[in-house]
């Protein structure tokens, strides 16, 4: 089934056309990568998908329901989750408390947090931590976590809202290569098991070509290619954008022209 149908999205900032009629779909349980050079329009696209930015025109349907015109919180409630490059957790709270907070918010019980109710949704939080392999660190303060663990926690927090579509903004930015592969494998396993669809941007072409079911390439506000990783890698337009960077072949220093 199709989770997201995006049709002819357009957005200009003054004279800059950041989105020039973007059309694509995301299937259920699909891991879809959105790549493109700096300034291609990826953030603009994500910001429209989660309601932060209103498109000038176009339509975004989540399981048939129009999202355009709704506020970010409504879009989030409808099931579009998002993780950001900079992780947003409460450093002084423990790992499990952070997930409980997300669950409280999902269940609309934020007022019950004052004073913080220690046992609310603890079992559910525990399950999510087990899912992302963080249960053994449940009692640690978030501020003391290693970066890779913080990213896994962030995934648990995002899942607490039971998203139907999860937007991930450069999920592996700042991670060591081995950690990147592990996080994406974990993400892939979880989204497939739970039927979540993931749309992600990514700098690391190894991650993109190894883990994405499908890849879309944005350039100057236009989708210039989409298809399987293999098709996109072999596409001559894509090759010319990344020409000389080596990025399509997983060469590490090639990131200046990456997603
Ligand atoms: N709020 C804004 N005001 C003016 N111009 C903007 C704004 N947001 C984005 N732009 C412009 O729109 C274009 C697309 O930017 P966007 O940030 O979406 O690209 P991107 O692909 O996410 O880039 P990067 O990989 O560098 O984050 C750029 O030319 C950018 O300068």
Nearest to 161 by CA among 37, 74, 48, 247: 74
Lowest model confidence (mean pLDDT) among 82-91, 98-107, 133-142: 82-91
Under the banding of pLDDT at 50, 70 and 90, the label for residue 92 is confident
Cα distance between residue 20 and residue 219, in whole Å: 10
- pLDDT higher than threshold 90 for residue 175: no
Q: What is the pTM of this model?
A: 0.88
Under the banding of pLDDT at 50, 70 and 90, the label for residue 116 is low
- pLDDT higher than threshold 70 for residue 112: no
Residue nearest to atom 14 of ligand 1 (CA): 41
Query: Looking at residues 91-112, what average pLDDT do you find?
Result: 81
Ligand 1, closest atom to CA 221? 14
Lowest model confidence (mean pLDDT) among 58-67, 176-185, 234-243, 246-255: 246-255
Query: Looking at residues 117-142, what average pLDDT do you find?
Result: 90
The rounded mean pLDDT for the chain is 88
Query: Tell me, what's the pLDDT at 115?
Result: 53
Backbone dihedral angles phi then psi of residue 115, each to the nearest 5 degrees: -75, 155
Cα–ligand 1 centroid distance for 128 (angstroms): 34
pLDDT, tens digit (0-9, with 9 covering 90-100), for 217-249: 999 999 999 999 999 999 999 988 886 666 665
Query: Looking at residues 65-77, what average pLDDT do you find?
Result: 94
Highest mean pLDDT (candidates 84-88, 132-136, 243-247): 132-136
Cα–ligand 1 centroid distance for 44 (angstroms): 6
- pLDDT higher than threshold 50 for residue 166: yes
- pLDDT higher than threshold 50 for residue 254: no
- Domain locations in the chain as residue ranges: 2-79+163-257, 92-161
Cα–ligand 1 centroid distance for 17 (angstroms): 9
- Within 6 A (CB) of ligand 1 lie 13, 16, 18, 36, 38-44
Count of other CB atoms within 10 angstroms of residue 136? 10
Residues 2-79+163-257, CATH architecture: 3-Layer(aba) Sandwich (3.40)
Residue for token digits 């000389």? 244
Cα distance between residue 248 and residue 232, in whole Å: 9
Beta strands 80-83; 165-169: pairing state: parallel
């Amino acid at each position: 089934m199709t989770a997201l149908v995006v049709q002819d999205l357009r957005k200009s900032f003054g004279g800059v056309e950041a989105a020039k009629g973007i059309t694509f779909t995301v299937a259920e349980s699909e891991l879809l990568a959105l790549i493109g050079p700096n300034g291609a329009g990826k953030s603009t696209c994500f910001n429209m998908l989660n309601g932060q930015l209103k498109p000038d025109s176009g339509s975004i349907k989540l399981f048939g329901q129009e999202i355009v015109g709704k506020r970010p919180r409504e879009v989030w409630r409808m099931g579009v989750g998002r993780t950001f490059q900079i992780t947003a957790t409460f450093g002084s709270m423990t790992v499990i408390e952070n997930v409980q907070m997300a669950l409280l918010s999902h269940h609309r019980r934020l007022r019950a947090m004052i004073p913080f109710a220690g046992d609310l949704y603890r079992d559910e939080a525990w399950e999510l931590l087990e899912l992302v392999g963080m249960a053994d660190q449940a009692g640690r303060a978030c501020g003391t976590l290693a970066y890779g663990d913080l990213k896994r926690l962030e995934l648990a927090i995002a899942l607490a809202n039971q998203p139907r579509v999860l937007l991930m903004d450069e999920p592996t930015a700042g991670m060591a290569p081995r950690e990147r592969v592990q996080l994406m494998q974990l993400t892939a396993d979880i989204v497939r098991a739970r039927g979540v669809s993931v749309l992600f941007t990514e700098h690391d072409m190894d991650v993109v070509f190894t883990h994405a079911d499908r890849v879309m390439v944005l350039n100057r506000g236009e989708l210039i290619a989409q298809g399987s990783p293999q098709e996109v890698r072999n596409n001559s337009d894509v090759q010319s954008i990344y020409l000389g960077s080596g990025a399509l072949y997983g060469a590490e220093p090639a990131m200046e022209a990456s997603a």
